Structure 1
């Protein structure tokens, strides 16, 4: 984010660039997956969400400890890991500096060369 750019303007740019790359934004009330750009504590964040059916199936399989490594869990983990990596690469290609979170998935995004 440059000195004249607000977090809202940066978030709008990130949203536009991810859509330009062919990614679909997550619908607020929908079950389909996609990316989400939001502002928290004046910082821009990006997350990826899988479709509701994969989320639910993964949660159900994790609840049953004997099914910890089922196909659905592998699908969920593979999809989430792959999409977060892709989003990070796309953000970097568009000139942002995506910073991985300390835990879980997602990024805090700043413009290239701008510290958070």
Structure 2
């Protein structure tokens, strides 16, 4: 879990620096909320995966697939909620969200493959 917090902190520093030094027009002003959403989803999925790692990993695949579905459904609900609320710069919001979604998904796959390689 600490890796997710550290990853989020690094992303936050990058976004703060981009916003401060470059007046980034390619980052939506709600990036802090999006980052907080992904941190909370990562925490939730981390807890779900810990449950999957119990019992000698008999149900690991089911829990991993469930975590993918949960992340996707929560992400769709989050974007739909903000688009329903008439957020400004809709395209920029969706692009910022998708970039962070890909970053967090890549980070999750890297962490998972790293843990699985160690256990072989």
TM-score for both structures, normalised by structure 1: 0.39
Structure with more of its chain in strand, by fraction: 1
Structure with more of its chain in helix, by fraction: 2
Higher relative contact order (CA 8 A, sep 6+): 2
